[in-house]
């Protein structure tokens, strides 16, 4: 009888622990960073009419934090617009990178070579949704474009 009670108790306890873990997982899934605010200063977002009182050391600490994390890499998304090999692939990749840089001056364009292919990727997007917005406008010009999960640069 004791063995049955202990077994039932352990089963109920493990079920309670699993549901608590599931609750914690659900809570974490719902918390997201608003990627439209990444890299922007809260002082610029507030606009005119707001006064923020903070010490110079606090402002300096924030500037140092941004500067120190600029070299960190993150997992995010890029749009691959060109992936090709051949005799003219290098010249075409350069032309495409130049064209996209002119059309989208605020978005990073990355050319790379992975033998024997030349690649051109666009952007440092934190979310797939952010990448999808630019992808829609690139798709007309570059029909083979696709969104890939890659290591991206820290937002500036």
Whether the CB-CB separation of 81 and 121 falls below 8 Å is answered with: yes
Q: What is the dihedral of CA 106, 125, 148, 99, to 10 degrees?
A: 0
Question: What confidence category does residue 99 fall into, taking pLDDT thresholds of 50, 70 and 90?
Answer: very high
For the chain, count helices (H), then strands (E). Answer: 5, 4
The token pair that represents 147 in the structure block: 């969104």
The conformation of residue 30, written as its DSSP 8-state character, comes to: H
Of all helices (H) and strands (E), which one includes residue 139?
A: helix 128-139
Whether the CB-CB separation of 109 and 120 falls below 8 Å is answered with: yes
* Domain ranges across the chain: 1-28, 73-153
* Predicted confidence (pLDDT) per residue in 120-148, tens digit: 999 999 899 999 999 999 999 999 999 99
Question: Strand pairing of 109-114 and 73-84?
Answer: unpaired
Answer yes or no: CATH 3.40.50.150 is held by domain 73-153: no
- Its pTM stands at 0.58
Rounded to whole angstroms, the Cα distance separating 156 from 150 reads 18
* Predicted confidence (pLDDT) per residue in 31-83, tens digit: 444 555 555 566 666 666 777 777 888 888 878 887 787 677 789 999 999 99
């Amino acid at each position: 009888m004791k063995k049955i009670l202990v077994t039932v108790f352990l089963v109920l306890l493990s079920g309670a622990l699993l549901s608590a873990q599931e609750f914690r997982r659900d809570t974490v899934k719902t918390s997201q960073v608003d990627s439209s605010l990444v890299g922007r200063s809260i002082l610029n977002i507030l606009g005119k009419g707001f006064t923020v009182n903070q010490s110079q050391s606090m402002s300096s600490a924030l500037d140092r934090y941004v500067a120190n994390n600029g070299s960190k890499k993150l997992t995010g998304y890029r749009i691959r617009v060109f992936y090709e090999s051949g005799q003219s692939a290098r010249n075409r990749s350069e032309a495409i990178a130049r064209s996209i840089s002119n059309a989208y001056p605020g978005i990073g364009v990355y050319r790379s070579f992975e033998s024997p292919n030349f690649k051109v990727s666009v952007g440092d997007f934190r979310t797939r949704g952010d990448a999808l917005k630019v992808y829609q406008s690139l798709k007309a010009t570059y029909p083979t474009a696709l969104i890939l999960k890659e290591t991206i640069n820290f937002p500036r």
